[in-house]
Amino acid sequence: MADEYKPPALPAPFNNTRPAPELLTQGAEAHLYKTVSLDPSIPAALKVRPSKPYRHPILDRRLTRQRIIQEARCLSKLVREGVSVPAVLALDWEGQGGDEAGWGGAWLMMEWINGPVVRVVLEQWEAWMKKNASSLDAAQLEQENSRVRDLLRRIGKTLGGLHKAGVVHGDLTTSNLMLRLPTEGTESETSPTGVSMQGEVVLIDFGLASQSAQDEDRAVDLYVLERAIGSTHPRSEPFMEELVHGYRESHRGAVSTLKRLEDVRMRGRKRSMIG
Amino acid sequence: MIAIGMEGSANKIGVGIMSHPKDGSPPQVLANIRHTYVSPPGEGFLPKDTARHHRAWVVNLVKRALKEAKVSVEDVDCICFTQGPGMGAPLQAVAIAARMLSLLWGKALVGVNHCVGHIEMGRLITGATNPVVLYVSGGNTQVIAYSSQRYRIFGETLDIAVGNCLDRFARTLHISNDPAPGYNIEQLAKQGKQLVDLPYVVKGMDVSFSGILAAIDGLAAAYGLGGSEKAREDAQASGKVQDPDNKPTRADLCFSLQETVYSMLVEITERAMAHVGSKQVLIVGGVGSNERLQEMMGIMARDRGGSVYATDERFCIDNGIMIAQAGMLAYQTGFRTPLKESSCTQRFRTDEVFVKWRED
Amino acid sequence: MASQLERLDILHLPESLSVYVALYRDVQNAAFLRQQLLSGNKEFEYAFIDASMVLSRAHATAAIFRAINDYTNDRLKSHNVHSEIVFSLNPANNIADSFRKFGIADSTKDLLVVKVSVSPEITYDSVATHLETSVQGNSVSFDDETLSEISDVPRIKKVFKLGALPSPGDKTNGTQNTNAKRQLELSLLGAIALRGS
């Protein structure tokens, strides 16, 4: 068998960075690091798209460049439109360095979002409820359910803002939604579960995002998230209507998108296979 | 236990005989024979002609396979056949033969999903235990991973199959369909150097090829590279003509098409591997015999600390053995296809099959 | 008056490259400084920036970083890393236009000066000494509070075509004001990063 996987060397200038950026996740397309921003006292996220040696070099540069620019453009546009996403701090679509001199991939430095991923929040909440829900009285139970409903409504509203700004995410899951921790001084909510659902909903990972105002693309965005919630958070799924509700109230175009969503639900996203 | 597998979902009819020894030792291929319907350059294979070809050959192939395997009819436990997906008429031609043999010899009938056949054969031959599977052929393009008794489709083509894209471009260039259009494109591509810009369409884990085909057909037309006349020049100059104006050659187009579509396939495979956390890739289906695709996949897998498993053309390209293998696995769990449920279907998704023979 | 020259800490740059910044108010000899630039006087190879076009430290730092990254990767669009810093402040791809909008003018009163140590003889002391004798103005601290008194926000918004954004108005309006400024700043950073894409 092959050797242990080693991530490729960081592109310049991050081979200089002191201390070295810390690798957080390695997806198929990109590696995500935590580092500092241009201000040493503020953290930043660094996304590196290393070159893919299996591809023809011309094709590789073209794709890597297109994609990192597309991602940065979407983020930058959303920041201007006031949608909560990590802002672009710096970018290089033809990064140098890497394993060999020359082309080493592209990188994007982004604002660091301090807070948990919604997937983890819901997983923790569901795990607690599974174990302890029977110990809650009716009022407490209602209180818990309404916290999840509120979270889903806020998610729906944020997605509405995203779509209104003319961007579709392309890969919506609860792993790509975060809750930005409230600044100090905010009164924290109390729940027997110990799981906070406070904080501004922030959308992350725009690696598959594109600019589109078409109902079909928007509806598929919602459908993909709906499916993801259904498969990973069964206890939260019954509250999906709250997400739709929050979305509907967010902008005028929502009505026709939601109508399209019904069609997408009916047919699913996949075609049937012809031999 | 012994199974006969009969495959005829596209332009190849294959009959294979497989033995699963009772002592649990590894399964053995007793016979694996095939006959291909080859259409003239510039033409694809039509369902009715292909079905006629299969009808003409099926009896001959079954007889030869039994003889080669040195087994008698009494030794056979079940008749496995491709129930879909595929082209309707050819599927039916072979299914009728399978039903007839089942009734004639009093043997159980086992309908097999063609894609599952490829996967099970690939697993058997390569020893890959739980790979992400890239299934690429003239009719299918899917990225598949096993989970809770289904082969789940993580990504697939949104329009035509990758093999279909290659075959149709071979027709544009009037490249020979013997032994296979994709094989001849691969040979011509080896002389290509210049990469022309083509659309590159990956959406998440899905791909689309129709736009690429339209674009490269357009380039062939714009540079006057299509048609039988140019194909003859190719043959005479053995593709070595270099255009002085740096215009792309036929070889360049084949090269560019391969580089583009195979990059797309490797990309979605890598995405599926990252998603399910697997380090093995298995390539199956006719296009899987392409050496450039195997090479690219190998580089990707190596960079992820994994490895690629591929089979040669005996098992990659449609064959009867794979149907016997997948059919036998199902048969051993008690699966049977009653006569009245033995009709074939052109649409038969990989994830419809309940994979009872694998652990959860 | 003693210069408040600052060594800017950007942890991603090679240690051999230091960035020195100084902010001046009430500059008296802008025309002279500009003339030195125009005549190509090597002694005066600085980024001389009209500080009213700088929103914040982060804004200036983003342009400095972009310019140095392009410099180390050998793809400067202008003469040297210092002119590139002025160019990088501009969201558009036009060098002459960048100097008109962000560079020093004869009438400039608030001046941001940047120097990158592209050769070993450029040190904190050498820069401090030279600036002290060359710039006639009040050296002030390069911080957001000072910049907020200097920045011409409506003009910055106009140049960046960000007129639709809420304005960070007067200081009485607490959080809303902070948020507006933050959104404007982040929008500038995105535009600087994406220039030429």
CATH superfamily of A118-267: Transferase(Phosphotransferase) domain 1 (1.10.510.10)
pLDDT band at A149 (very low <50, low <70, confident <90, very high): very high
CB contact under 8 A, A89 and C165: no
Least confident of A73-87, B72-86, B304-318, C98-112: B304-318
What pLDDT does residue A183 have? 75
According to the model, what pLDDT value does residue C175 have? 75
Q: What integer is the mean pLDDT of A182-189?
A: 73
ipTM value: 0.95
Name A74's Cβ contacts closer than 8 Å, sequence gap at least 6: A167, A206, A209, A210, A211
Indicate if the pLDDT at residue B234 is higher than 90. Answer: no
Q: Give A-chain residues touching B87 at CB under 8 angstroms.
A: 275
Is C167 buried (19+), middle (13-18) or exposed (0-12) by CB count in 10 A?
middle
Are A79 and C66 an interchain contact pair (Cβ–Cβ within 8 Å)? no
Asked if pLDDT for residue A157 goes beyond 70, the answer is yes
Residue whose C-alpha is closest to residue B186's, from B284, B281, B288:
B288
A:C CB pairs within 8 Å:
83
CA–CA separation, B75 and A128 (whole Å): 59
Two tokens, residue B62: 């079954």
Q: Which chain C residues are Cβ-neighbours of A93 within 8 angstroms? A: 197
pLDDT of amino acid C2: 59
B71-117 residue pLDDT tens = 999 999 999 999 999 999 999 999 999 999 999 999 999 999 999 99
Please tell me the distance in Å from A151's CA to the nearest CA on chain C: 23
Q: Which chains touch A (3 or more CB pairs under 8 A)?
A: B, C
Label residue A27 by pLDDT band (50, 70, 90): confident
Partners of residue C15 in chain A, C-beta under 8 Å: 16, 18
**Whether the predicted pLDDT of A101 surpasses 70:** no
* List of residues 6+ apart from B104 with CB closer than 8 A: none
Binding-site residues of B sit at: 114, 118, 135-139, 167, 182, 186, 290, 318
Interchain pair A1, B307: CB under 8 A: yes
Q: Name the pairing type of β-strands A31-36 and A43-49.
A: antiparallel
Contact C12 A14 (CB under 8 A): yes
Query: Structure pTM?
Result: 0.88
Residues of C in contact with A98 (CB under 8 A): none
List, edge to edge, every strand of the sheet that includes B78-84: B28-36, B12-19, B2-7, B78-84, B108-113
Q: What is the C-alpha separation between B11 and B8, in angstroms, rounded?
A: 7
Domain C6-151: top CATH class? alpha beta
Strand partners, C20: C7, C115
Give me the sign of the Cα torsion angle C78, C79, C80, C86: negative
The reply to whether A88 touches chain C by the CB within 8 Å rule is yes
Instruction: Look at residue B239 and tell me whether its pLDDT is greater than 60.
Output: no
More confident residue, A265 or B198: B198
Residues of chain C with Cβ-Cβ distance to A76 below 8 Å are: 187, 190-191, 193-194
Binary contact (A90, C194; C-beta < 8 A): no
Which are the catalytic amino acids of A?
Answer: 171
Assess contact for A37 and A89: CB atoms under 8 A.
yes
A26 chain-B contacts, CB cut-off 8 A:
274
In chain B, which residues have their Cβ closer than 8 Å to the Cβ of A54? 263, 266, 295-297, 299-300, 303
Strands B78-84 and B108-113: parallel
In 3D, which of B273, B274, B232, B319 has the Cα closest to residue B36?
Answer: B319
A88–C194: do the CB atoms touch at under 8 Å? Answer: yes
Chains C and B touch (3+ CB pairs under 8 A): no
Q: Which CATH number fits domain B2-123+315-352: 2.60.130.10, 3.30.420.40, 3.60.150.10, 3.40.50.800?
A: 3.30.420.40
Cis ω before B131 (30° cut-off from 0): no
Distance CA B222, CA B245 (A): 14
For residues B174-192, average pLDDT: 94
pLDDT given at position A269? 54
CB nearest to C190's CB, from A36, A75, A82:
A75
Residue A274's pLDDT band, with cuts at 50, 70 and 90, is: very low
pLDDT confidence of residue B235: 63
* Model confidence pLDDT, tens digit, residues C4-49: 999 999 999 998 999 999 999 999 999 999 999 999 999 999 999 9
Query: Would you say A109 and A37 are in contact if contact means Cβ atoms under 8 Å apart?
Result: yes
Give the highest mean pLDDT range of A83-87, B137-141, B308-312, B351-355: A83-87
Residues of chain A with CATH 1.10.510.10: 118-267
- Tens digits of pLDDT across chain C (197 residues): 457 999 999 999 998 999 999 999 999 999 999 999 999 999 999 999 999 999 999 999 999 999 999 999 999 999 999 999 999 999 999 999 999 999 999 999 999 999 999 999 999 999 999 999 999 999 999 999 999 999 999 999 999 999 989 888 655 566 778 889 999 999 999 999 999 99
Q: At CB < 8 Å, which residues of chain A contact B?
A: 1-6, 8, 26-29, 52-56, 58-59, 62-63, 170-171, 208, 270-275
Q: Quick one: angle between helices A138-164 and A215-232, nearest 10?
A: 150
Amino acid at B246: N
**Helix, strand or coil for residue B108?**
strand
pLDDT tier, B230 (very low <50, low <70, confident <90, very high otherwise): confident
The closest CB to that of A80, out of C11, C61, C165, belongs to C165
Secondary structure class of C12 (helix, strand, coil)? coil
* pLDDT at residue number A272: 47
Confidence of residue A95 (pLDDT cuts 50, 70, 90): confident
pLDDT greater than 70 at residue A4 = no
Query: CB–CB of A274 and B263 under 8 A?
Result: no
Q: Is the pLDDT of residue B169 over 50?
A: yes
Establish if A61 touches chain C: CB-CB under 8 angstroms.
no
Q: Which residues of B are annotated as a binding site for substrate?
A: 135-139, 167, 182, 186, 290
Q: Which pLDDT score is estimated for B245?
A: 66
Closest residue in A to B262 (Cα) is: A55
What is the rounded average pLDDT for all residues in chain B? 93
pLDDT of residue B226: 82
How far off is chain C from A49, nearest CA to CA, in Å? 16
- Give B122's pLDDT tier (boundaries 50, 70, 90): very high
Chain A residue numbers touching B10 (CB-CB < 8 A): 275
Instruction: Answer whether C12 sits within 8 Å of A38, measured CB to CB.
Output: yes
Alpha carbon B197 to chain centroid distance?
A: 27
- Of B313 and B262, the one with more pLDDT: B262
At A237, is the pLDDT very low, low, confident or very high (cuts 50, 70, 90)? confident
Domain B2-123+315-352 matches domain B129-312 at the CATH topology level: yes
Q: How far is A176 from chain B (nearest CA, A)?
A: 14
Average pLDDT, chain A: 89
The torsion defined by the Cα of C5, C11, C17 and C20, in degrees rounded to 10, comes to: -10
Q: Which CATH class is domain A22-111?
A: alpha beta
> Does A186 reach chain C within 8 Å, measured CB to CB?
no
For residue B360, pLDDT over 80 is answered with: no
Mutate to test the interface with C, among A10, A48, A84, A91 (most CBs of C within 10 A): A91
pLDDT (0 to 100) of residue A140: 93
CATH superfamily label, B129-312 = ATPase, nucleotide binding domain (3.30.420.40)
Q: How many angstroms separate the CA atoms of C112 and C5, rounded?
A: 11
| B124 has pLDDT over 60 | yes
Contact B350, B118 (CB under 8 A): no
- CA-to-CA distance for B141 and B208, rounded, in angstroms? 10
B240/B17 Cα distance (integer angstroms):
44
Nearest residue of chain A to residue B11 (CA atoms): A275
Q: Which of A1, A29, A54, A61 to mutate to test the interface with B (most CBs of B within 10 A)?
A: A54
Asked whether the predicted pLDDT for residue B135 surpasses 60, the reply is yes
Cβ contact, residue pair B274, A2, below 8 Å: no
Angle at C192 between CA C191 and CA C197, to 5 degrees: 75
Tell me whether residues B267 and A2 touch, CB distance under 8 A. Answer: no
Q: Where are the domains of chain B?
A: 2-123+315-352, 129-312
